[in-house]
Amino acid sequence: MLDKVRKLLAKAEDPACTPEEAEALTAKAALLIAKYGIDQALLDARADRPQVVGNRLVELAAPYLREKAYLLHVVAAALRCRSIRLERRTADGLRVSVHLFGFESDVAGVELLFSSLLVQAARGLLREAVPGGQQPAAWRRSWLIGFGSAVQQRFAAATAQDDDPPPPGTALVLADRERAVDLAVEAEYPNVRAGRRRRLSGAGFEAGNAAGQRADLGAVRVETRPRAEVTGRT
């Protein structure tokens, strides 16, 4: 299933792919990721397999580290995972990584979809000209936050509009898994705190939000509740 998702996203990321084709491919990939994670959860519950939460440390590449961490947080929350942003200062500047917690099928889906959205966001930024009078880095930071915000809105809208009821017992199974993920985070980061709200000076939010709306994720069922992004420091 994940190999099929990789192939769909690879086609969506191809520069020769039209925006409409990329939207359709990304929507299909997101749908497969979401359903695969839920199906795996139900199979584990029926087979009485132990609740094993995995984790993955994702190192982010400059520039716009915090903006990329925000996008990863949005995708992780939508696909039943938790994300902890870690920051440290080095001689080379700020380093940012994100520690993902979740069941393997969910974490793998997060990584795949996040990587594809990064490609789509980078392509969108290249197409956008920074308006006159705007500081380029500040404008692009706000553009990326707008992009991530639109992705979050699409996940929420997909959940609200989904008329296809999940199999009986799904909500209870997913609630048990969510609790297991929360316990794993608490064990690793007992003193974690919510990240502070940032004030961005750039005016690119609306343009980025419009681009994120075009990165259509389709009618994907995602069992999620809004979470605050949390931050740890090393």
Provide the token pair at 42: 């139900």
Specify whether the CB–CB gap between 92 and 84 falls below 8 A: no
pLDDT for 63 equals 92
In the DSSP assignment, the letter for residue 228 is -
pLDDT bucket at 126, cuts 50 / 70 / 90: confident
Per-residue confidence (pLDDT) for residue 101, from 0 to 100: 97
Q: Give 50-59 pLDDT, tens digit per residue.
A: 668 999 999 9
DSSP string computed for 90-126: ETTEEEEEEEEEE-HHHHHHHHHHHHHHHHHHHHHHH
Q: How far is CA 14 from the centre of its chain?
A: 20
- Tell me which range, 119-123, 186-190, 209-213, is most confidently predicted by mean pLDDT: 186-190
Q: 82: helix, coil or strand?
A: strand
CA 113, 117, 118 angle in degrees (round to 5)? 115
pLDDT at 189 over 80: yes
Could you read off the pLDDT of 138-184 as tens digits, one per residue? 999 999 999 888 888 877 776 665 556 666 667 777 788 889 899 99
Q: How confident is the model at residue 200 (pLDDT cuts 50, 70, 90)?
A: low
Residue 64 backbone class (left: φ over 0; alpha: ψ -120 to 50; beta: rest): left
Q: What are phi and psi for residue 89, nearest 5 degrees?
A: -95, 130
Element (H, E) at 51: none
Tell me which of 38 and 135 has the higher pLDDT.
135
Strand order in the sheet with 230-233: 54-59, 93-102, 82-90, 230-233, 193-194
For the ranges 36-40, 90-94, 124-128, the lowest mean pLDDT is seen at 36-40
Average pLDDT, the chain: 78
- Whether 15 has a pLDDT exceeding 60, the answer reads yes
Concatenate the DSSP letters of all residues of 215-226 into one string: S---S-------
Read off the pLDDT band of 202 (50, 70, 90): low
**161 in Cβ contact with 221 (< 8 Å):** no
In the predicted structure, residue 213 carries a pLDDT above the cut 50 = yes
